[in-house]
Amino acid sequence: MEALANLAEELHHKLAPMHPGYYDLDTCRHLAQVVEQIRALKAKRNAVILAHNYQRPEIFEVADFIGDSLELARKAAGVEADVIVFCGVHFMAETAKILNPKKTVLLPDLRAGCSLADSVTAEEIVERRKELQAVYPDLAVVAYVNTTAAVKAVVDVCCTSSNAVTIVNRLPNQHILFVPDQHLGEYVQQHTEKTILTWNGSCYVHHQITPENIVRIKQALPHARVLVHPECRADVIALADAVLSTSGMVEYARRSEATEFVVVTECGLSDRLFLEVPEKTFYKACKLCQFMKMITLDRTLWSLETMQHEIVLEEEVRQGAERSLRRMLELTA
Ligand code: 13P
Ligand code: SF4
């Protein structure tokens, strides 16, 4: 009883300053109970919890590993436990299943999708590749990991926000169809001699962020470094001091001699920065991802209790997707 009360106090102390009014003591008492139940059930089921950087901060309390898409893919490939509970969105849980097919992979809420992953289908890519190859016979198709397993199965290689430029530059092909994020595709084009043909997809979260808000913060805080995710629009990227993946931002903030930063991505990353780099100050120029926020501590407990929702893939699709993901991992090994 005393241990539980202490945990509730600890959570309140840690989380309340980040979101005043939300993590009151009653809420933290409930969260502490759920945290304890999840920890016990994880041991019973021989499960690990992998969490993306955008998750709610209470999820970090039960996570065995927190990271960006690339780090999570690498981690998932090496998991030895029987069960992986993925606190992130659907394509991330699929990636874990693709790379570690013998494990049971669970996503606590099937509504945790991704607007970017929804913006392209495998059939559309097959058709577009045919059209473009008639003009550019050496065409390669590069898919951002924010895609379905079916899409990954019909492309040449995958990439993430942290390695997109490297992957494109290391391919032997001169012409690249880059799907589905137009903004990341445009960003890659600025950093390569190759010809990038983009797709008309975007992340609804990053697409909403406009330059005006950042310019206003910069005028008040001219010394603050502006950290921008490459899913942002080109006019937002133009204001960046550094363009980084989510974990790239954490690393940059930790190592930089600067003490103030404007964080331009999904708001959950600011929570991770407040917790991990408490000696520095972070200003939010961010938006919330409704999909990431579908995952709650209660849903995570439910997932472990009921062993739902299990990610199941057709073996042919899984193998095709694994080929594209493994090629990415090899090209950046
Ligand atoms: P990262 O790989 O940089 O964490 O990005 C994932 C994502 O979904 C960004 O919106
Ligand atoms: Fe998808 Fe955008 Fe949410 Fe990332 S932030 S999961 S790209 S909708």
The residue-averaged pLDDT of 23-36 equals 98
Homologous superfamily (CATH) for 2-115+292-306: NadA-like (3.40.50.10800)
From the alpha carbon of 91, which atom of ligand 2 is closest? 6
Strand 140-144 vs strand 83-87: parallel, antiparallel, or unpaired? unpaired
Ligand 1, atom 2, residue with closest C-alpha: 69
| pLDDT of 143 | 98
From the alpha carbon of 68, which atom of ligand 1 is closest? 4
The residue-averaged pLDDT of 281-310 equals 98
Q: Which fold has domain 117-202+313-331?
A: Rossmann fold (3.40.50)
Sheet-wide strand order for 242-243: 242-243, 225-228, 260-264, 281-284
Q: How far is 218 from 212, CA to CA, in rounded Å?
A: 10
Pocket test for ligand 2, best of 205, 267, 293 (most atoms within 8 A of CB): 205
Ligand 1, atom 4, residue with closest C-alpha: 68
Of the chain, the percentage scoring pLDDT greater than 90 comes to 99
Whole-number mean pLDDT of the chain?
97
Widest distance between CA atoms in the chain: 70
Q: CB-side exposure of 85: number of CA atoms within 13 Å?
A: 31
| pLDDT of 270 | 96
**Pocket flag, ligand 2, residue 292 (CB < 6 Å):** yes
Q: Does the pLDDT value for residue 205 go beyond 90?
A: yes
Yes or no: say if 118 and 200 are a contact pair by the CB < 8 Å rule: no
From the alpha carbon of 181, which atom of ligand 2 is closest? 7
Pick the CATH number of 209-284 from 3.30.2270.10, 3.40.50.1220, 3.40.630.30, 3.40.50.10800: 3.40.50.10800
Burial class of 276 by CB neighbour count within 10 A (0 to 12, 13 to 18, 19+): middle
Q: Does the pLDDT value for residue 87 go beyond 90?
A: yes
Ligand 1, atom 1, residue with closest C-alpha: 68
Closest CA to 67 of 79, 56, 75: 75
* Residue owning tokens 């708001």: 267
| pLDDT of 20 | 87
**Pocket flag, ligand 2, residue 146 (CB < 6 Å):** yes
Yes or no: say if 203 and 231 are a contact pair by the CB < 8 Å rule: yes
- Ranges of each domain in the chain: 2-115+292-306, 117-202+313-331, 209-284
Q: Does the pLDDT value for residue 329 go beyond 90?
A: yes
Pocket of ligand 1 (CB under 6 A): 53, 68-69, 146, 160-161, 203, 231, 245-246, 266
Q: 224 CA to middle of ligand 1, Å?
A: 23
| pLDDT of 1 | 79
The residue-averaged pLDDT of 177-198 equals 98
Q: 265 CA to middle of ligand 1, Å?
A: 9
Q: Does the pLDDT value for residue 134 go beyond 90?
A: yes
Pocket test for ligand 2, best of 95, 289, 290, 295 (most atoms within 8 A of CB): 289
Domain 117-202+313-331 and domain 209-284, same fold? Reply is yes
From the alpha carbon of 248, which atom of ligand 1 is closest? 3
Please list, residue by residue across 46-61, b when 16 or more beta carbons sit within 10 angstroms of its beta carbon and e when fewer do: ebbbbbbbbbbbbbbb
* Tokens of residue 220, six digits: 């008040």
Q: Which ligand is nearest to the CA of 73?
A: 1
Helices then strands (H, E): number in the chain? 16, 12
In eight-state DSSP terms, residue 311 is P
Q: What is the pTM of this model?
A: 0.97
| pLDDT of 234 | 98
